[in-house]
Each structure stands twice: as C-alpha cells, then as structure tokens.
C-alpha cells in the first residue's frame, strides 16, 4: 500500500511528523510526503520548493 501525505510543509513541524508516523503505523506500507506546489488554503510558501523538499528529506530521518 502507498499512502500519500500532502501539505505545504513551510516549515515542516512536529504535528506533520506525528500525523505521518501515526498514519504509517495504522496503514503500513509506504508513506510519501509531498509538498504542495500551490497550497489551496493559504498564501504562497515562503520557502522555495527545493527548500521544502530538503526539509522533508531531513525530517524523514525522525519518522
């Protein structure tokens, strides 16, 4: 099973990681976190897409 968790992640924070960890435990399989290009519920992110992806890669080690 592949679970996708999308968000702005600007910046990624403990709540994002908690939701991701719990979803992974509940669903099993593979979990991918994907930064949204254009967030539907807020202004454009401050961090660039590359910076947000780098934050996700760093945060992945704490899952």
Q: What is the pLDDT of residue 61?
A: 80
Residue 63 CB-half CA count within 13 A: 19
Write b or e for each residue in 17-52: b if 16 or more Cβ atoms lie within 10 A of its Cβ, otherwise e.
eeebeeeeeeeeeebebebbeeeeeeeebebeeeeb
Q: What is the pLDDT of residue 49?
A: 86
Q: What is the pLDDT of residue 13?
A: 94
Q: What is the pLDDT of residue 39?
A: 79
Domain boundaries, the chain: 11-19+29-63
The size of the chain, in residues, is: 63
**Could you give the CA distance from residue 46 to residue 51 in angstroms, rounded to a whole number?**
10
Q: What is the pLDDT of residue 54?
A: 93
Per-residue pLDDT of the chain in tens (63 residues, 90 and over written 9)? 898 999 999 999 999 999 999 998 999 889 899 988 877 788 888 999 889 999 999 998 877
**Could you give the CA distance from residue 55 to residue 50 in angstroms, rounded to a whole number?**
9
């Amino acid at each position: 099973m592949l679970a996708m968790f999308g968000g702005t992640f600007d910046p990624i924070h403990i709540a994002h990681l908690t939701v991701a960890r719990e979803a992974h435990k509940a669903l099993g399989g593979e979990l991918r976190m994907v930064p949204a290009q254009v967030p539907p519920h807020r202004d454009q992110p401050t961090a660039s897409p590359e910076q947000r992806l780098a934050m996700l890669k760093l945060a992945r080690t704490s899952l």
